[in-house]
Amino acid sequence: MVAQRAEPPLVVIRGASGSGKSTVTKALRHRFGKAECAVVAQDNVRRTILRERDEPGGFNIDLIEMIAMECMKRGRLTIIEGILDTDRYGEMLERLMTSTDRPFFYAFDLSFAQTLDRHATRPEAAEFGPTDMRTWFRGHQPLPFVAETVFDVSWSVEAVVGRIYDDLRSSIGRFGADDGRASGRKFL
Protein backbone atom coordinates (compact mmCIF):
# COMPACT_ATOMS: atom_id res chain seq x y z
CA MET A 1 0.00 0.00 0.00
CA VAL A 2 1.39 3.40 -0.99
CA ALA A 3 0.96 6.23 1.49
CA GLN A 4 -0.83 9.21 0.02
CA ARG A 5 1.42 12.25 -0.01
CA ALA A 6 0.04 15.16 1.97
CA GLU A 7 0.05 18.52 0.31
CA PRO A 8 2.50 21.09 1.64
CA PRO A 9 1.08 23.44 4.24
CA LEU A 10 -0.24 26.91 3.50
CA VAL A 11 0.42 29.49 6.20
CA VAL A 12 -1.33 32.86 6.12
CA ILE A 13 -0.10 35.58 8.49
CA ARG A 14 -2.24 38.74 8.57
CA GLY A 15 -2.11 41.95 10.53
CA ALA A 16 -1.71 45.69 10.49
CA SER A 17 1.44 47.42 9.31
CA GLY A 18 4.01 47.17 12.08
CA SER A 19 2.36 44.21 13.80
CA GLY A 20 5.27 41.81 13.30
CA LYS A 21 4.18 39.74 10.28
CA SER A 22 7.38 40.18 8.28
CA THR A 23 9.61 39.59 11.30
CA VAL A 24 7.79 36.34 12.11
CA THR A 25 7.87 35.26 8.46
CA LYS A 26 11.64 35.83 8.22
CA ALA A 27 12.20 33.81 11.39
CA LEU A 28 10.02 30.96 10.10
CA ARG A 29 11.82 30.94 6.77
CA HIS A 30 15.15 30.73 8.56
CA ARG A 31 13.85 27.89 10.74
CA PHE A 32 12.47 25.88 7.81
CA GLY A 33 15.26 26.64 5.38
CA LYS A 34 15.01 28.93 2.39
CA ALA A 35 14.81 26.09 -0.13
CA GLU A 36 11.82 24.51 1.62
CA CYS A 37 9.78 27.65 2.21
CA ALA A 38 8.23 30.05 -0.30
CA VAL A 39 7.23 33.47 1.01
CA VAL A 40 4.58 35.45 -0.83
CA ALA A 41 4.63 38.92 0.71
CA GLN A 42 1.70 41.16 -0.17
CA ASP A 43 3.90 44.28 -0.14
CA ASN A 44 6.43 42.69 -2.46
CA VAL A 45 3.82 41.61 -4.99
CA ARG A 46 1.74 44.78 -4.84
CA ARG A 47 4.34 47.52 -4.34
CA THR A 48 7.55 46.09 -5.79
CA ILE A 49 6.47 43.81 -8.63
CA LEU A 50 3.31 45.60 -9.76
CA ARG A 51 3.71 49.10 -8.30
CA GLU A 52 -0.02 49.00 -7.66
CA ARG A 53 -2.25 50.74 -5.11
CA ASP A 54 -4.16 48.49 -2.73
CA GLU A 55 -7.68 48.64 -4.08
CA PRO A 56 -10.58 46.23 -4.58
CA GLY A 57 -10.07 43.96 -7.57
CA GLY A 58 -6.38 44.81 -7.89
CA PHE A 59 -4.21 42.53 -10.02
CA ASN A 60 -2.04 41.80 -6.97
CA ILE A 61 -4.85 39.76 -5.44
CA ASP A 62 -4.90 37.37 -8.39
CA LEU A 63 -1.12 37.30 -8.64
CA ILE A 64 -0.71 36.43 -4.93
CA GLU A 65 -3.12 33.54 -5.46
CA MET A 66 -1.34 32.34 -8.61
CA ILE A 67 2.09 32.46 -6.97
CA ALA A 68 0.88 30.65 -3.86
CA MET A 69 -0.90 27.95 -5.88
CA GLU A 70 2.17 27.31 -8.02
CA CYS A 71 4.43 27.14 -4.96
CA MET A 72 2.15 24.61 -3.26
CA LYS A 73 1.79 22.62 -6.49
CA ARG A 74 5.58 22.33 -6.57
CA GLY A 75 5.71 21.05 -3.00
CA ARG A 76 6.75 24.16 -1.11
CA LEU A 77 5.62 25.16 2.33
CA THR A 78 4.00 28.47 1.36
CA ILE A 79 3.68 31.48 3.64
CA ILE A 80 1.53 34.42 2.58
CA GLU A 81 2.00 37.50 4.71
CA GLY A 82 0.47 40.95 4.58
CA ILE A 83 -2.25 43.22 5.84
CA LEU A 84 -4.59 41.18 3.61
CA ASP A 85 -7.73 43.19 4.32
CA THR A 86 -10.72 40.87 4.74
CA ASP A 87 -12.97 42.75 2.30
CA ARG A 88 -10.39 42.81 -0.51
CA TYR A 89 -8.49 39.55 0.02
CA GLY A 90 -11.01 37.32 1.82
CA GLU A 91 -12.40 35.49 -1.21
CA MET A 92 -8.90 34.77 -2.53
CA LEU A 93 -7.76 33.50 0.87
CA GLU A 94 -10.81 31.25 1.11
CA ARG A 95 -10.02 29.72 -2.29
CA LEU A 96 -6.44 29.09 -1.19
CA MET A 97 -7.63 27.56 2.08
CA THR A 98 -9.75 25.03 0.20
CA SER A 99 -6.90 24.16 -2.17
CA THR A 100 -4.80 22.40 0.48
CA ASP A 101 -5.43 19.87 3.21
CA ARG A 102 -3.16 21.82 5.58
CA PRO A 103 -4.18 25.49 5.86
CA PHE A 104 -2.97 27.49 8.85
CA PHE A 105 -4.26 31.02 9.43
CA TYR A 106 -2.82 33.49 11.92
CA ALA A 107 -3.60 37.13 12.65
CA PHE A 108 -2.18 39.87 14.83
CA ASP A 109 -4.69 41.88 16.87
CA LEU A 110 -2.88 45.00 18.05
CA SER A 111 -4.01 48.55 18.74
CA PHE A 112 -2.84 51.37 16.50
CA ALA A 113 -0.55 52.63 19.29
CA GLN A 114 1.03 49.17 19.60
CA THR A 115 1.74 49.01 15.87
CA LEU A 116 3.36 52.47 16.04
CA ASP A 117 5.61 51.32 18.89
CA ARG A 118 6.71 48.26 16.91
CA HIS A 119 7.12 50.26 13.70
CA ALA A 120 9.55 52.64 15.43
CA THR A 121 12.00 49.73 15.88
CA ARG A 122 11.95 48.67 12.19
CA PRO A 123 14.58 49.54 9.58
CA GLU A 124 11.86 50.94 7.30
CA ALA A 125 10.58 53.32 10.00
CA ALA A 126 11.89 56.29 8.00
CA GLU A 127 10.05 55.22 4.83
CA PHE A 128 6.59 55.94 6.25
CA GLY A 129 5.15 57.11 9.53
CA PRO A 130 2.03 57.43 11.67
CA THR A 131 0.05 59.41 9.08
CA ASP A 132 0.42 56.71 6.43
CA MET A 133 -0.09 53.93 8.94
CA ARG A 134 -3.32 55.53 10.19
CA THR A 135 -4.80 55.37 6.68
CA TRP A 136 -3.96 51.65 6.45
CA PHE A 137 -5.06 50.66 9.96
CA ARG A 138 -8.35 48.79 10.25
CA GLY A 139 -7.66 46.68 13.31
CA HIS A 140 -8.20 42.94 13.48
CA GLN A 141 -10.62 41.76 10.80
CA PRO A 142 -11.65 38.15 11.42
CA LEU A 143 -12.10 35.97 8.36
CA PRO A 144 -15.61 34.47 8.33
CA PHE A 145 -14.56 31.10 6.89
CA VAL A 146 -11.74 30.02 9.22
CA ALA A 147 -10.83 30.18 12.90
CA GLU A 148 -7.54 32.08 12.85
CA THR A 149 -5.08 31.83 15.70
CA VAL A 150 -4.92 35.40 16.98
CA PHE A 151 -1.82 36.93 18.58
CA ASP A 152 -2.07 39.99 20.80
CA VAL A 153 0.68 42.26 22.11
CA SER A 154 1.55 39.79 24.89
CA TRP A 155 3.06 37.36 22.34
CA SER A 156 6.79 37.75 21.67
CA VAL A 157 8.22 37.08 18.22
CA GLU A 158 9.84 33.92 19.58
CA ALA A 159 6.54 32.70 21.03
CA VAL A 160 4.65 33.35 17.78
CA VAL A 161 7.31 31.59 15.70
CA GLY A 162 7.33 28.68 18.16
CA ARG A 163 3.54 28.36 18.05
CA ILE A 164 3.38 28.34 14.24
CA TYR A 165 6.30 25.92 14.00
CA ASP A 166 4.69 23.57 16.54
CA ASP A 167 1.34 23.75 14.72
CA LEU A 168 3.03 22.75 11.47
CA ARG A 169 5.00 19.94 13.12
CA SER A 170 1.85 18.49 14.67
CA SER A 171 0.09 18.62 11.29
CA ILE A 172 2.37 15.90 9.93
CA GLY A 173 0.63 13.29 12.08
CA ARG A 174 -2.85 14.66 11.45
CA PHE A 175 -2.55 14.83 7.69
CA GLY A 176 -0.64 11.69 6.80
CA ALA A 177 2.60 9.91 7.48
CA ASP A 178 4.54 11.38 4.59
CA ASP A 179 6.81 14.19 5.73
CA GLY A 180 7.89 15.13 2.24
CA ARG A 181 10.61 12.50 1.88
CA ALA A 182 8.87 10.93 -1.11
CA SER A 183 9.37 14.16 -3.01
CA GLY A 184 12.81 14.89 -1.59
CA ARG A 185 11.38 17.73 0.48
CA LYS A 186 11.27 17.98 4.23
CA PHE A 187 8.63 20.34 5.53
CA LEU A 188 9.83 20.32 9.12
Nearest to 80 by CA among 7, 24, 18, 139: 24
CA distance 74 to 131: 41
Classify residue 1: in a domain, yes or no. Answer: no
User: Is the separation of the CB atoms in 64 and 42 below 8 Å?
Assistant: yes
CA distance 140 to 126: 25
pLDDT value at 14 more than 80: yes
Classify residue 186: in a domain, yes or no. Answer: no
User: Is the separation of the CB atoms in 42 and 84 below 8 Å?
Assistant: yes
Classify residue 159: in a domain, yes or no. Answer: yes
Classify residue 26: in a domain, yes or no. Answer: yes
pLDDT value at 120 more than 70: no
Number of folded domains that form the chain: 1
Which band of pLDDT confidence, cut at 50, 70 and 90, is reported for residue 112?
confident
CATH assignment of the domain containing 103: 3.40.50.300
Domain that holds residue 128: 10-172
Read off the pLDDT of residues 44-98 as tens digits, 9 standing for 90 and up. 999 899 999 888 999 999 999 999 999 999 988 999 999 999 999 999 999 999 9
Whole-structure pTM value: 0.83
User: Is the separation of the CB atoms in 71 and 40 below 8 Å?
Assistant: yes
Classify residue 70: in a domain, yes or no. Answer: yes
How do 77-82 and 103-108 pair as beta strands? unpaired
Classify residue 182: in a domain, yes or no. Answer: no
